[in-house]
A and B are shown apart, each in its own frame.
Chain A
Amino acid sequence: NLRNLKRICNQEPTITKVQFVHLHIQSSGQQLEAVAVETASAEPNPLSVFRTSEQDPTYHSEGHSGQYYMLPPAHIQKLFPYGLPPRFQLQIKTFNEGCVMVRPPALELISYLKRADYSKPPLRYVLYGDIGTGKTMSLCHALHYCYTQGWLIVHIPDAHLWIKNCKELLPSSSRPSRFDQPIQASQWLKNFKITNERFLSKLKTTQRYVWTKRESTEKGQPLGELIDQGVNRMKSSSDVVGAVLRELKLQAGGTTEGEGAFKLAVAVDGVNALWGKTSLKKEDRTMPEELTLIHNLRKMMKNNWSGGAILTALSQTGSVFKPRSAYLPNELLGEEGFDSMEPFVPVSVSNYNEKEFESCYLYYLDRSWLQHPHSRSEEGKKELIFLCNKNPSILERLCAAL
């Protein structure tokens, strides 16, 4: 009986006659009544309780809290080539749509972004919380808002990938005692290009960069060229990343000549990696002290520029040498990191509450993800609540394919 909790993956069904047990949610915090609804028509109920048709994060408010909104596929391709968590990407592929739940932490973050003053140095927002509560997803939601507002996005999906498991570690060409990671840098540059295509021709470099004896980028060249340089010449890609970040820092806020001001959103997931220990070693088994990419990112984190915002999220899952129970900022960032990040605005992310869990459950039912008939009953729902304690990632894994 207990073993029957495993669900089987299903392809897209055509819902002809479906009997739902809808829990009628009037607004947040009110009582739930059980109403049985029978849809006799062929098309599914377009405005189910757990979905909202509002696709623009700008207009999301508390009223939408707990409801799913659909990410437009075009946006997903552009904005999040590798930005979304891998399991969520699988889910998008399975369900043929990317739906994100509107939750209070993301709403809070977006409201701060709306009200911030962009002539001042950027505010740093740190999303923190227990494992699997939805920090990365909230970050992605806020980033979607920035994208729809036309900001320039600098998104590092997981900073931990830059401090561990790097296949190639080259000594830096420009500075001794620094190390380059060509593969990671070029990968990131490619993604950056896809996300911010329209800005690439508009922005120009402010100084001359010399890469090798024969190659250099002159002042006033469009940023796109700089990026191509980095993508083509892997050896200097890490330095290119540093240059790009520097350019963006200088030009954000539109104080310099560029046509139209743009706002810069720096989003880093797993920001505690920047100040932690690396697990990388040189050939003769000693740890590199400085990695070019990490060094440049750290400079980015400082708020000595203006015209943007720094959105970060902590992450324990990818971190090296950190205990599993650590989730608070001071534990994960360490002393050094905490001092560098200070002052920041902490935003806490927690497990689903009743309404959000309800919503997620209904969404899975709607997508026919919960196949077992027992899961449709109250009993099954209580079992699910117990086994995952309303933790989003554990719920997702619980309902996952075998």
Chain B
Amino acid sequence: MAASSCRGVRSILWKYGSCGKNFCVSRSKTVPQLPVRHICVSSALWKKNLAAAGPQKFTLEFINKQVEEFEIGKRHLANMMGEDPETFTQEDIDRSIAYLFPSGLFEKRARPVMKHPEEIFPKQTAVQWDAEGRPFHFLFYTGQQSYYSLLHDVYEKILAMERHQDNMRNKGLFTSETKQILLTGSRWLLKEEIEEYLVENISDHDYMRMIQLMEKLLSMPYCSLEEEFILKFRKQLEVQSSKHEIPALQYDPQGVTFSVADGRRKTAKASITLRDSGSGNITINGRNYLHYFPLLQDREQLMFPLHFVGMLGRFDVEGSVEGSGHSAQAGALRLAISRALLSFVSEGEVEKMRQAGLLTADPRIKERKKPGQEGARKKFTWKKR
């Protein structure tokens, strides 16, 4: 860095020097070719300090141009895949991109993606002041205009509701049993989701304040008038048990019902057939489960789902399992048995099984060994010097 700057200085002096020479000597067209020192500096000098500049600003016309390009690109993609451009949905786009650019990366967010620019570019607020620099919104100088305006609106509604309540009381039509808003199965939006909605950063204290205000709104009678507004800030929770795929109940030639299911645990894969024959035999890989799992713990794992639903002696299990060790195989079989049981069991039982943890696949796998360490966590011997 120092050397290059020296060189730079020298070159400047040289240039001045050369200029001076030119001035002294009469200007001739053929200027003697003076050697030019190329300034070689590291490229780090030319890089702008991006962090100091602040987040990137996308102009509106830029975003619009991106949207146009996306639409055109979508049509091209549809033509390439031989499908109808008019009815080409986002799922089709994802499928096509995954087909055309297969990626082996584990992180899903690092894979190539083609989405609408609105999802890719972060939302930014438009310019909030006019040509003379006067802000549009009256709460601009609070610094968090959308947040405070939201609070303002909510308080307006509270006041309006109180006035309505007074009116009803005056008319004599006041009743405290009004329609209540159904709040079960939904939750308040999280702080991150509120930030996304308002396109502003808010602190934890602000978020708490907002939720308290909404709760106050909810506590009043006649809150059903503002139901639509409130539900905008509540998110529906999905019913977890509806996500489980229940395997179909099939029938043997002899009329015995059976179902087939799979299970996995830590590289062990198991696949079983559960038959409703009335005996309690369990065969794994052709051998009796007493021989295959001499350890009591593994047999207890097999027993757990059947014991939980109370159908111990009823079913015949015929299973095949491979991979990993005995404990993982027992876990894989347990998951497979629980899944197969879903088709023999009622809805309430399914929910209970889910809460007991029988239907959750255990995500734990062997942790990767890192370079510079002995194992996944163990470090090499630490030497002080």
Contact = CB atoms under 8 A, between A and B. Distances in A.
Given A2-B304, A325-B291, A394-B290, A387 B313 contact: no
Nearest to B299: A387
Nearest to A327: B291
Contact of B300 (A2, A382, A389): A2
A307 to B, nearest CB: 41
B288 interface: yes
B231 interface: no
B307 interface: yes
B291 A386 contact: no
A274 B147 CA distance: 90
Nearest to B306: A386
Contacts of A2: 300, 303-304, 307
Q: Which of A379, A386, A398 has the most CB of B within 10 A?
A: A386
Interface of A is mostly: helix
Interface in A241-281: none
Interface in B252-310: 280, 287-291, 296, 299-300, 303-304, 306-307, 310
A386 B303 contact: yes
A195 interface: no
B280 A385 contact: yes
A391 interface: yes
Interface residues of B, dominant DSSP: helix
A382 B296 contact: no
A385 B304 contact: no
A27 to B, nearest CB: 23
A389 B288 CA distance: 9
B194 interface: no
Contacts of A383: 303, 307, 312
A386 B287 CA distance: 16
Interface size class of A (residues with CB under 8 A): 10 to 19
B282 to A, nearest CB: 8
Contacts, number: 38
Nearest to B297: A2
Contacts of B303: 2, 383, 386-387
A382 B289 contact: no
Nearest to B300: A2
B280 to A, nearest CB: 6
Interface in B307-340: 307, 310, 312-313
A5 B307 CA distance: 13
Given A2-B304, A394-B290, A387 B296 contact: yes
B280 A386 contact: yes
Interface string A369-402: 0000000000100110111110100100010000
A379 B312 CA distance: 9
Contacts of B296: 387, 398
B288 A382 contact: no
B162 to A, nearest CB: 54
Contacts of A398: 296
Interface in A115-171: none
B290 A389 contact: yes
Contacts of B299: 386-387
A389 B283 CA distance: 12
Given A325-B291, A389-B288, A389-B290, A382 B312 contact: yes
- Looking at B290, B303, B306, B313, the one whose CB has the most chain A CB atoms below 10 A away is B290
Contacts of B300: 2, 5, 387
Contacts of A389: 288-290
A381 to B, nearest CB: 10
B279 to A, nearest CB: 11
B313 A382 contact: yes
A355 to B, nearest CB: 16
Contacts of B280: 385-386
B380 to A, nearest CB: 39
B283 to A, nearest CB: 11
Nearest to B314: A382
A387 B297 CA distance: 10
A389 B303 CA distance: 12
A391 B310 CA distance: 22
A64 to B, nearest CB: 27
A394 B296 CA distance: 9
B90 to A, nearest CB: 47
A186 B65 CA distance: 102
A166 to B, nearest CB: 28
Contacts of B310: 379
Contacts of B287: 325
Best-surrounded residue of B303, B306, B310 (most CB of chain A within 10 A): B303
Interface string A1-33: 010010000000000000000000000000000
Given A2-B303, A383-B312, A386-B299, 17 more contacts: A2-B304, A324-B291, A325-B291, A379-B307, A379-B310, A379-B312, A383-B307, A385-B280, A386-B306, A386-B312, A387-B296, A387-B299, A387-B300, A388-B290, A389-B288, A391-B290, A398-B296
20 contacts: A2-B303, A5-B300, A325-B291, A379-B307, A382-B307, A383-B307, A383-B312, A385-B280, A385-B312, A385-B313, A386-B299, A386-B303, A386-B306, A386-B312, A386-B313, A387-B300, A387-B303, A389-B288, A391-B290, A394-B290
Interface of A: 2, 5, 324-325, 379, 382-383, 385-389, 391, 394, 398
Closest 6 CB pairs of A and B: A382-B312, A389-B290, A386-B303, A2-B300, A387-B299, A386-B312
